[in-house]
Amino acid sequence: MITPEETLLLVIDVQGRLAQSVHGSDGVVAAIGRMIRASRILEVPVLVTEQYPKGLGRTVDALMELLPGAQPVEKLSFSCCGNEGFMERLRAFGRNDILLAGMETHVCVYQTAVELLDFGYNVHLLTDAVSSRTEENRALGIRCIEKAGGALSSTEMAMFELLREAGTDRFKAVSAILKEA
């Protein structure tokens, strides 16, 4: 089970042109937004990446507005792990459980998941918070990540796992976020 003390949310490449072209874009961006909001309440750090922002645009405003002061890691490698700056920032958090969200499931999310697993991290794929341009590629990416050893989860499942119990102020705040879905 994941805990707030050991978990990090990684938001991969939810950028202008790319975000507009993926299957179910609005729902995926909304799910990621809810997870970011819950992560902030639960004190789970959030790390954001951008694939070639000159060509694909910056992270969508709807998400960046939830992360004041965030500095996305710019990358050219499909796997986030191919960027040394990313690896340095990831290691600095000292978290072993990585919640994955973003785009595209079968490319950057998949390659990042496999390399994180190779580095010994526990990968938890938030299946409602990932997408690709086609549903077929999204489903293929999810299957391949699971086959590689990644755990499948959802934003709601992860939120409740991080909460552990009802009746707290954090529970009330996260419950309010979930009611928006």
Residues marked as catalytic? 13, 75, 108
Number of H helices, E strands in the chain: 9, 6
Q: Dihedral, CA atoms, 102, 103, 104, 106, nearest 10 degrees?
A: -10
CA distance 6 to 13: 23
Characterize 166-177 residue by residue with b for buried, 16 or more Cβ atoms within 10 angstroms of its Cβ, and e for exposed. Answer: eeeebbeebeeb
Classify the C-alpha dihedral 128-130-132-137 as positive or negative: negative
Find, among 19, 38, 112, 40, the residue nearest to 73 by Cα: 112
